[in-house]
Amino acid sequence: MTDPTDLPAAAPGPEAEPEPVPDLPVRPPVAPMLAKPVKAMPKQDGTLFYEPKWDGFRCIVFRDGDEVYLGSRNERPFTRYFPELVEAVKAELPERVVVDGEIVLPRGSQLDFDALQQRIHPAASRVRMLAEQTPASFVAFDLLALGDESYLDLPFAERRARLEAIFGRAGHSVRLTPVTRDDGQAGEWFEMFEGAGLDGIIVKPGDQPYVPDKRTMFKVKHERTADVVVAGYREHKTGPIVGSLLLGLYGPDGRLHHVGVAASFPMARRAELVEELKPYVADLGEHPWGHWAEQAAATVGQPAAGPATGGQRVPGAISRWSAKKDLSFIPLRPELVIEVAYDQMEGDRFRHTAHWRRARPDRTPESCTYEQLERPVSYNLDDILAR
C-alpha cells in the first residue's frame, strides 16, 4: 500500500455514471486504517501478524449482490477505472462483503506501478481498453463485514481467520495476502520480496479492532542512500525560497537524467538554501535539461523517457497527475553533490521524495551514476501469493 494513491483532482469525464452505494453494515466511504513507519522490525510479542507491504492503490471493496463499489484511500471511488475487478469481485467474493486490500497490476512475475497509474483515465473507451490490455488484481488483507455483520470491533486475529475462510472460492484476480507470526520469517520476506515489486512489511497487532483513518499498524520500509547531483530547484508555494531540489544521475549515455527531488526542509533552511545556491544559478540554454519544455510538450500523455528507453529524463514531464502544476525550475550548474536517502526505485527514478543526508564535496558530479544503486534480487510474485 503506497502513499501516492490519490486520484487526480479533476472529475471523471462526461461518460462517467453515478457510483452505486451498496447497502451493507459497513457502508462507503470508509477511510482505511493506516500504518506508522518504524525503523526496525517489531519483535513478536505474542500478538503480532506480519504481511508483505503491497505497492499499489489502497482499496476497500464493498459488494452487495450485483452492486460493487471500489473505495479509494481519499474516498473517491475507483469503481469506473477497474471494470475487470468489479466482475472479479462478483465471481470470486461472497454476495455481501466488505474487504480491505490493495489494487495491484502484475506484469509477469513483478508488480508494475507505472502501468497501474495509467489506469486512472477520464475516457470510458480508454478505461475499457486498458482493462483488457493491463488487467489489475486485488490482494485482500482485512475483512470489515460479511453478510449483515460488521467486523470492525473484532480483533484482527479473528478478522484474519474469517477472511481466510471466505477464500475457498476466490480465483485468479482476487487473492489473499500471505501472513506470518514469525518475526524471523518476516525479516526474510523483507529482503526477498522486494524483487517482485513489494516495498516492505506491515505489522498488525492481532488484538486490535479496525479503526478507520488511524495509524494503529506499523510499516517497515527499505531505506538506501545514493550520491546525486543537484541540478536545479523549484520555488516553494509560499514564495521565493527552495521548495524542492531537483536531483540527477548520469546514465550510460553520459547524459544527466532527472531522478527525483528532495523536499523535506524546515522553512528557515529553505531560505538559507536560496543564498547557498545563488553562485550556481545557470542559464537554462546552457543547462543539461535546457530542452525540458520542448521535450515535456512533445511527450504529454506518453510514458516518461529515460536511460532504459534511450531518451533523457527531464524534470518537466507533464501528465494528468501534474497538468495544473508549475513545473518550471531554477537551473543550477551541475556541480554540487549530496547524499540522499531513498526507499526504492520506480523504473529509473526514485519512487518517493528523497531525504537529504549530507553534502558530498569529496564526490565529482560525473561519479554519480546509476551503477551505484542497489537492485533487489528478483522474486516471483506468484510464489508470494501461493504462501
Residues 45 and 69: beta-carbon distance below 8 Å: no
pLDDT in tens, 364-383: 999 999 988 876 666 777 78
Class of domain 34-222: alpha beta
Catalytic residue among 36, 39, 43, 53: 53
Cell of 349: 527514478
65-74, 202-211, 302-311, 351-360: the lowest-pLDDT one: 302-311
Confidence grade of residue 166 (pLDDT, cut at 50, 70, 90): very high
CATH code that applies to domain 224-372: 2.40.50.140
Task: Please give the pLDDT value at position 201.
Answer: 96
Report domain extents, the chain. 34-222, 224-372
Round to whole Å and give the CA distance between 50 and 204: 6
Confidence grade of residue 346 (pLDDT, cut at 50, 70, 90): confident
Q: Is 53 a catalytic residue?
A: yes
Section 18-32 average pLDDT? 84
Round to whole Å and give the CA distance between 354 and 225: 9
Round to whole Å and give the CA distance between 190 and 185: 9
Which one, of 297, 46, 362, lies nearest residue 181 by Cα?
Answer: 46
pLDDT in tens, 246-305: 999 999 989 999 999 998 888 889 999 999 999 999 998 889 988 765 555 444 444 455
Sequential DSSP letters for 2-63: -S--PPPSSPP-TT--PPP----SS-S--PPPEEEE-SSPPPP-SSEEEEE---SEEEEEEE
Left (φ > 0), alpha (ψ -120 to 50) or beta: where does 278 sit? alpha
Average pLDDT over the chain reads: 85
